[in-house]
Amino acid sequence: MGLFDFLRSRPRNTAAMATERLRIIVAQERAQSGRPDYLPLLRRELLEVIRKYVNIDPDAIDIHIDRDGDQEVLELSVALPEKPRDPAAAAAAAGEL
């Protein structure tokens, strides 16, 4: 630190930024570790099947594996849109336009 350093603006505390970013990413990665590798594929295939009948948002599927003692529970939640659309009807409607 030299005589005129106080004139320069002090850089932000980057160590605190590093700590905060690491806290978040490490917590996220720990939560993911130990999950079976097939979950993302399972999620994608389920999405495709459901979309044959109901046009849902890609984010509308939530898959969790919870461990309860020595039992594993696969929890699947699908949020349906408020007015379920029939894909065939939707296609027909699109054709009329």
Please spell the DSSP secondary structure of 36-77, one letter per residue. Answer: -TTHHHHHHHHHHHHHHHS---GGGEEEEEEEETTEEEEEEE
Q: Least distance (Å) from another protein to the CB of residue 6?
A: 12
Within a 13 Å sphere around the CA of 74, how many CA atoms are in the beta-carbon half? Answer: 7
Q: For another protein, which is the closer residue by CB, 1 or 97?
A: 1
Among 7, 8, 9, 16, binds another protein (CB under 8 A): 16
* Region 21-80 residues binding another protein, contact defined as CB under 8 A: 21-23, 25-26, 29-30, 33-34
Among 6, 7, 9, 13, binds another protein (CB under 8 A): 13
User: In 3-state terms, what secondary structure has residue 4?
Assistant: coil
Neighbours of 39 (CB within 10 A): 14
**Contact residues for another protein, defined by CB under 8 A:** 1-3, 5, 11, 13-16, 18-19, 21-23, 25-26, 29-30, 33-34
